[in-house]
A and B are shown apart, each in its own frame.
Chain A
């Protein structure tokens, strides 16, 4: 094993694992098989998630007149969408709320970028494929850049080479691959495999910058995440040195050329709605905590 691979492996094993309940929720989402009863059981076994559910329904933002004290009732009030969001945000948040020195990203940058991409994926998902599972698109977008948590350590070692490469070309993924023979999307997929995430996560994380190369069954989800990532970056929520340094995949270009819903003015409207929703989510989070 060379030094670089050893560093990747070590970084991956240093990360906190996803909680059992989050993993189970992710599996339910991917299998499109969602049962409230199973969900209640799962949450009841997870003390921190149970507490969070109760805290959320009882928060001022939720505006209930009487306090809710059982998980069963909390789950009814929250609904499956909110619940999966809560579970995922807690688990993923623990991992991505870190300063990424290699990317020049502050502690909350990757978290905010991931969250904004997730909100964007929910917004645009139905435009791209009406049969798409919007909760799954949300989960995939929330985790799309998870590889950066590991990859940042590699970039830190070659700061000067990175700066030089950025002066010469504008595709960050190619820069990563040139310098390290792998990129954050591939490392993210390694991480997804390590965590035993379903195949759709492995495929979409690996191809979030190259959806046209994604295996067919998951290609439209990869395209949704690719465009959601772009909208988050365009609207000013990137992750540092790599923000705006990515190319559009041919699949996305084709969509933008032929579909009126992706004309410039429509993209502006999307950005407006996205920022609006994103700020609401941030405000509610601040209120709940």
Chain B
């Protein structure tokens, strides 16, 4: 797990979280890559925030990889983020949990985004948690940004359209 702290609090340049990566941050905003069909799972409890960009619903596909890249799968991502958050923000009732992304390809055969989101929700339940905010589905590829200090989650759509979740 990487815990990032900013060198200069006034700069607030977000740290980019890649596909399948997860990151927990104190103060430094976290920004996902463009999510496509993937789902960004976000935990925030100011001044701490965590983000995992989940690509697949289930780590049973490759247990070994789930230990190397836990952020890649819904189950391992939830477990790791939960563990990391508990260490820095020990009161889960104060956490805000959000899901962003999960874009759908025009053809109904590919409901990957929906499946990832459902898998995350199932996994959260195991910890007695549930998402409070969601921006899922649609055809656009979204980018999520979370500011740990304000707790604000912003969703960026292609063309630069910004929305506070």
Which A residues contact B (CB, under 8 angstroms)? 103-105, 109, 159, 163, 166, 170-171, 230, 233-238, 240-241, 243-248, 253, 256, 265, 267-269, 271-272, 275-276, 279
Contact = CB atoms under 8 A, between A and B. Distances in A.
Contacts of B37: 233-236, 244
B36 A248 contact: no
24 contacts: A105-B158, A159-B159, A170-B139, A171-B106, A233-B105, A234-B105, A235-B36, A235-B38, A236-B19, A236-B35, A236-B141, A238-B141, A241-B140, A241-B159, A243-B36, A244-B105, A248-B106, A253-B109, A267-B112, A271-B112, A272-B55, A272-B56, A275-B55, A275-B72
Contact of B106 (A237, A245, A267, A269): A245
Interface string B90-125: 000000000000011111011010000000000000
A230 B36 CA distance: 11
B65 interface: yes
Contacts of B106: 170-171, 244-248
The majority secondary structure among interface residues of chain B is: loop
A235 to B, nearest CB: 6
Interface of B: 18-20, 33-38, 53, 55-57, 61-62, 65, 72, 103-107, 109-110, 112, 139-141, 158-160
A272 B159 contact: no
A244 B104 contact: yes
A241 B38 contact: no
B158 A103 contact: yes
Contacts of A279: 18, 20
Given A103-B158, A247-B107, A269-B61, 11 more contacts: A104-B158, A233-B36, A236-B19, A236-B37, A240-B34, A240-B159, A243-B139, A245-B106, A246-B106, A248-B105, A268-B112
B55 A271 contact: yes
Nearest to B110: A234
A276 B66 CA distance: 12
Contacts, number: 104
A244 B140 contact: yes
A256 B140 contact: no
B105 A241 contact: no
B117 to A, nearest CB: 14
Contacts of A244: 36-37, 103-106, 139-141
A233 B55 CA distance: 12
Nearest to A252: B107
Contact of B160 (A104, A243, A245, A271): A104
Contacts of B20: 275, 279
Contacts of A272: 55-56, 61-62, 65, 72
B65 A276 contact: yes
Given A104-B158, A269-B61, A275-B55, A235 B19 contact: yes
A230 B159 contact: no
A17 to B, nearest CB: 30
Contact of B158 (A230, A240, A269): A240
Contacts of B103: 243-244
Contacts of A163: 159
Contacts of A230: 105, 110
A103 B141 CA distance: 12
Nearest to A242: B158
Contact of A248 (B56, B109, B139): B109
B55 A243 contact: no
A238 B36 contact: yes
Contacts of A268: 56-57, 61, 112
A246 B105 contact: yes
B56 A238 contact: no
B38 A243 contact: no
Nearest to A163: B159
B68 to A, nearest CB: 9
Contact of B34 (A234, A238, A247, A265): A238
